[in-house]
Amino acid sequence: MCDLIFYCLCVQSWKWILAPSILYLFERILRFYRSQQKVVITKVVMHPSKVVELQMNKCGFSMEVGQYIFVNCPSISYLEWHPFTLTSAPEEDFFSIHIRAAGDWTENLIRAFEQQDSPVPRIEVDGPFGTASEDVFHYEVAVLVGAGIGVTPFASILKSIWYKFRHADHNLKTQTIYFYWICRETGAFAWFNDLLASLEQEMEELGKVGFLNYRLFLTGWDSNIAGHATLNFDKATDILTGLKQKTFFGRPMWDNEFSAVAAAHPK
């Protein structure tokens, strides 16, 4: 019969925990320091489909298209930080985000801004972070695809293009943009309609009607919506969005879409 012999090994786990713990602590201290810089909320816009737009200013804040920030609301939770893509353009004198109700924290935040008789909640911001999406400006043809609230990065890109056109930026190489947006409900289109309508008008005035080609796809609808859209199909503007481009029902046939883009821009 063998006797069991136990050995006490030196504890080594602290070596593997120490470095990540130091990095995490440093990141939290840095975030706390940056979050103490005052954020001024200049405008709050309530959009359909439980989406709120916050326009803000912060001393020394500089952004590029496609970046994101972390947002904290101490009145809701001191510890919760949530990432949101910036929807403003670098050319604007403010930075903005669009927040959709998608959980307890976002629902509480939207509810706090809906209470007009209460003071505006204090917001803390850390960032911006992420690699800029300026590569889209370096190609003659760009294809942008977004779904639902995931369209927010393209809001920044499209706004920036708008400003570059207005100021005749010669560094802009993009000649054509194809923008696809897929949504489940009509209300999701509402907050983006103003931007697309402004771009439509701006491109017409500049003689660049074919520069922005956008296609909106509605994947969730009922017979009333479909029937109403069919009866008003001959109108100059879309019955659902008010835009000149008609809304498509269902999901895009990507093979057909990409083939059409390739045919329009042969090598």
* Confidence (pTM): 0.75
Q: How many CA atoms lie within 13 A of 173 on its CB side?
A: 9
Instruction: Quote the tokens at residue 87.
Output: 């929807």
Residue extents of the structural domains in the chain = 35-129, 134-264
Q: What is the pLDDT of residues 81-118, one digit of tens each?
A: 999 999 898 888 899 998 888 889 999 999 988 887 77
Average pLDDT over residues 238-258: 78
Q: How many Å is the maximal CA-CA distance in the chain?
A: 95
Q: Measure CA 76 to chain center.
A: 23
Contact 86, 63 (CB under 8 A): yes
Q: Which CATH architecture group holds 35-129?
A: Beta Barrel (2.40)
Q: Measure the CA–CA gap between 157 and 136, rounded to whole angstroms.
A: 8
Q: What are 168's strand-pairing partners?
A: none
Domains 35-129 and 134-264 share a fold: no
CB atoms within 10 A of CB 69: 23
Percent of the chain with pLDDT over 70: 81
Q: Measure the CA–CA gap between 201 and 212, rounded to whole angstroms.
A: 11
Average pLDDT over residues 111-137: 82
Average pLDDT over residues 32-48: 82
134-264 adopts what CATH topology? Rossmann fold (3.40.50)
266 cis-preceded (ω within 30 degrees of 0):
no
pLDDT confidence of residue 97: 92
Q: What is the pLDDT of residues 185-238, one digit of tens each?
A: 766 666 677 777 777 777 777 777 778 888 888 887 666 665 655 655 566 666
* Lookup result for tokens 């859209």: 229
Instruction: Quote the tokens at residue 163.
Output: 């400003």
- Distances in whole angstroms, Cα of residue 77 to Cα of each of 42, 91, 109, 121: 22, 32, 10, 12
Contact 55, 93 (CB under 8 A): no
Q: Measure the CA–CA gap between 209 and 216, rounded to whole angstroms.
A: 17
